[in-house]
């Protein structure tokens, strides 16, 4: 596949940086929910919030880049070989992931604000409360953060499975468009 069919270096870097950040934040989120209250859990909660705000910021950068830099077209051979349902799944999965890139951290921020727990990004930059302190609202919001996070991870899994299918079964070079380096 030629360089024209690849994403830009900046788009590739954002893709992989967000992938690592999202998977790590999800893993830490799962781990910390099983811990009893302790200083270690409080540190993980703060780290998880920092990661969420960072993911929100990187998602905004990625979306702006995506809107201002058209991605490379699918190679004609791949486009022809994909059934219509796969094209719909391809585009739908990408746009749903973008929605969840924003929804998951924003719901987490709203939950934290409603609980009355401030977010101080990296312990330096205090962020405004997203919603007023309201314990009932917090309890209503809390499950949505987890559900949205699991939905995002499910879509990421689908995205990875599709990329691996293209690479190992179809052998069509699609994965090379987002491979770092070159």
pLDDT confidence bin for 181, thresholds 50/70/90 = confident
**Rounded Cα–Cα distance for residues 84 and 87 (Å):** 5
**Rounded Cα–Cα distance for residues 139 and 153 (Å):** 23
**pLDDT tens, residue by residue, 31-52:** 999 999 999 999 999 999 999 9
Q: In 34-134, which ranges are continuous DSSP H helix? A: 39-68, 76-81, 84-115
Q: How many CB atoms lie under 10 A from the CB of residue 132? A: 9
**pLDDT tens, residue by residue, 112-125:** 999 999 999 999 99
**Rounded Cα–Cα distance for residues 147 and 124 (Å):** 29
Q: What is the mean pLDDT of residues 113-139?
A: 96
pTM flag (> 0.75): yes
Could you tell me the CA-to-CA distances from 86 to 1, 98, 127, 159 in Å, in that order?
21, 18, 41, 12
Token couple for 59: 């998602």
Tell me phi and psi for residue 125, to 5 degrees. Answer: -105, 105
> Do the Cβ atoms of 109 and 52 come closer than 8 Å?
yes
pLDDT confidence bin for 129, thresholds 50/70/90 = very high
Examine the pLDDT at 3 and tell me if it is beyond 90: no
pLDDT confidence bin for 182, thresholds 50/70/90 = low
The C-alpha angle 150, 113, 135, rounded to 5 degrees, equals: 90
């Amino acid at each position: 596949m030629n360089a024209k069919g690849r994403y830009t270096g900046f788009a590739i870097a954002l893709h992989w940086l967000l992938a690592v950040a999202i998977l790590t934040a999800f893993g830490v989120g799962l781990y910390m929910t099983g811990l009893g209250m302790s200083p270690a859990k409080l540190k993980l909660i703060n780290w998880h919030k920092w990661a969420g705000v960072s993911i929100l910021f990187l998602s905004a950068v990625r979306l702006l880049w995506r809107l201002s830099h058209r991605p490379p077209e699918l190679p004609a051979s791949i486009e022809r070989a994909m059934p219509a349902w796969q094209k719909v799944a391809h585009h739908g999965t990408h746009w749903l992931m973008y929605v969840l890139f924003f929804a998951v951290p924003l719901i987490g921020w709203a939950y934290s604000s409603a609980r009355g727990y401030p977010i101080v990004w990296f312990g330096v930059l205090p962020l405004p409360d997203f919603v007023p302190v309201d314990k009932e609202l917090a309890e209503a919001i809390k499950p949505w953060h987890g559900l949205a996070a699991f939905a995002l991870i499910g879509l990421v899994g689908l995205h990875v499975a599709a990329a691996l299918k293209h690479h190992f079964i179809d052998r069509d070079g699609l994965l090379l468009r987002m491979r770092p380096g070159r």
